[in-house]
Amino acid sequence: QQQVKQSPQSLIVQKGGISIINCAYENTAFDYFPWYQQFPGKGPALLIAIRPDVSEKKEGRFTISFNKSAKQFSLHIMDSQPGDSATYFCAASKGGNNRKLIWGLGTSLAVNP
């Protein structure tokens, strides 16, 4: 049973456009929501993370929006660049517990020049 549902599976965006990846979770006890970015041939790396005490967190062109009532969170990439082409994973856990991090299945993003 997948507890974190990520969509879309793949996404193609033009350079300069906005990329949006959505995740929905089921367990209301989750309180830590990281996003990991994976380039081809590399391991995933933490991109940005949010806790439910805020509705939005921004780091450069990357923003997490969090909707606690809808049990959804999303990653927005503004002014998308070809260098952003990667696979993005959302995840969730209770208490920031990395042992029990529940992963989405990933979104493959391609940004066309």
Nearer of residues 17 and 57 to other proteins, judged by Cβ = 57
Is position 104 an interface residue for other proteins (rule: CB under 8 A)? yes
Tell me the closest approach of the beta carbon of residue 16 to other proteins, in angstroms.
Answer: 29
Other C-beta atoms lying within 10 Å of the C-beta of residue 104: 23
Nearer of residues 18 and 45 to other proteins, judged by Cβ = 45
43 to 62, contacts with other proteins by CB under 8 A? 43-46, 49, 51
The pair of structure tokens assigned to 4 is 């974190």
Q: How many residues bind other proteins (CB under 8 A)?
A: 21
Instruction: Candidates 18-26, 38-46, 59-67, 68-76: pick the segment binding other proteins (CB under 8 A).
Output: 38-46
The span from the CA of 67 to the CA of 97, in Å, is 21
Question: What sign for the dihedral angle of Cα 1, 108, 11, 57?
Answer: positive
60 to 79, contacts with other proteins by CB under 8 A? none
Distances (CA, A) of 66 to 12, 20, 58, 77: 23, 13, 11, 15
Other C-beta atoms lying within 10 Å of the C-beta of residue 54: 9
In the complex, the residues that contact other proteins under the rule CB under 8 A are 32, 36, 41-46, 49, 51, 89, 95-99, 101, 103-106
